[in-house]
């Protein structure tokens, strides 16, 4: 069974890559920047790495928020001493954060910690398949165009929801959305305009404004 799941995971990863024309694997670990596959388990079965299939033992308990922050800080340090953790957010399946270079203010990438294993890694989905190097051409959707695209999508996906926050990454834009308060996240490809809902996070539990305290 484990072997079969592994085959399915590999097929899924390859399929997602092929559906993203012009984009190269450039995010996941310092060694992967510039090429290479995503880290092991990033899109695999079970809750680890984003939870394509959220399978848990009946006595499973989540790791603490403190432990999750420590795991994210350790992971961020692999990208250099100036990279720090911001926008820490808790969901039912994982803890999410943005890694930012404090010297430039630019986002390095999106990262998660599996809420039940405590394993830190790249956020699956756009962070693995849509991050593009500058050689892949200019973006067709700037932040304003991406906002319009996301807002149009939300009208039928979740009536009454609005965009709450935004963050631009290389190759895509990510938005938090909700009806009054945050309920989920989605990303818009800056070349194709495709919308990718971050369903692997699970339900929103609480978060923080940049530089603020967690609401969990």
- Predicted confidence at residue 127, as pLDDT, reads 87
Q: What is residue 215's predicted lDDT score, i.e. its pLDDT?
A: 33
Range of the domain at 67: 2-207
3-state helix, strand, coil in the chain (%, to 5): 30, 25, 45
Q: Is residue 214 part of a domain?
A: no
Q: Provide the pLDDT for residue 47.
A: 37
Measured from the Cβ of residue 189, the count of other Cβ atoms closer than 10 Å reads 23
- What is the model's pTM? 0.73
Residue 51 domain-assigned? yes
Calpha distance 174→190 (Å, rounded):
10
Rounded Cα distance between 77 and 101, Å, is 11
pLDDT value of position 53: 59
Q: Looking at the domain assignment, is residue 216 inside a domain?
A: no
Backbone φ, ψ for residue 54 (5° rounding): -85, 90
Backbone angles phi, psi at 184, to 5 degrees: -175, -175
Instruction: Calculate the alpha carbon distances from 168 to 25, 63, 70, 153 in Å.
Output: 18, 29, 25, 18
Contacts of 150 (CB under 8 A, 6+ apart): 163, 173, 175, 177, 186, 188, 195
- Could you list the pLDDT tens digit for every one of the 216 residues in the chain? 444 444 434 334 434 433 444 444 344 444 433 233 333 333 333 333 444 556 778 888 999 999 999 999 999 999 889 999 999 999 999 999 999 999 988 888 999 999 999 999 999 888 888 876 444 567 889 999 999 999 999 999 999 999 999 999 988 999 999 998 999 999 999 999 999 999 999 999 987 644 333 333
Residue recorded with tokens 């609005």: 162
For residues 52 and 35, give the distance between their C-alpha atoms in angstroms, rounded to a whole number: 23
> Which 3 state secondary structure label does DSSP give 181?
coil
Q: In this structure, how many other beta carbons lie within 10 angstroms of the beta carbon of residue 160?
A: 9
> Does a structural domain hold residue 213?
no
Residue 215 lies in a domain: no
Domain count within the chain: 1
Distance of CA 39 to the CA centre of its chain: 14
Q: What is the pLDDT of residue 44?
A: 34
Neighbouring-strand partners of residue 177? 163, 184
């Amino acid at each position: 069974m484990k072997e079969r799941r592994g085959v399915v995971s590999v097929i899924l990863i390859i399929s997602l890559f092929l559906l993203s024309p012009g984009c190269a694997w450039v995010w996941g670990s310092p060694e992967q920047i510039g090429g290479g596959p995503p880290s092991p388990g990033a899109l695999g079965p079970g809750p680890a790495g984003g939870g394509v299939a959220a399978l848990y033992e009946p006595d499973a308990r989540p790791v603490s928020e403190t432990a999750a922050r420590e795991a994210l800080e350790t992971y961020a340090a692999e990208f250099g001493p100036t990279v720090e953790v911001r926008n820490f957010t808790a969901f039912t399946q994982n803890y999410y954060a943005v890694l930012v270079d404090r010297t430039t203010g630019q986002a390095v990438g999106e990262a998660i910690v599996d809420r039940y294993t405590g394993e830190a890694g790249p956020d699956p989905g756009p962070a693995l398949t849509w991050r593009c190097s500058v050689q892949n051409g200019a973006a067709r959707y700037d932040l304003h165009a991406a906002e319009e695209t996301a807002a149009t999508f939300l009208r039928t996906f979740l009536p009454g929801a609005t965009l709450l926050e935004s963050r631009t990454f290389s190759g895509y834009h990510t938005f938090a959305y909700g009806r009054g308060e945050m309920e989920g996240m989605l990303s818009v490809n800056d070349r194709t305009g495709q919308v990718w809902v971050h369903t692997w996070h699970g339900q929103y539990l609480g978060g923080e404004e940049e530089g603020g305290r967690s609401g969990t």
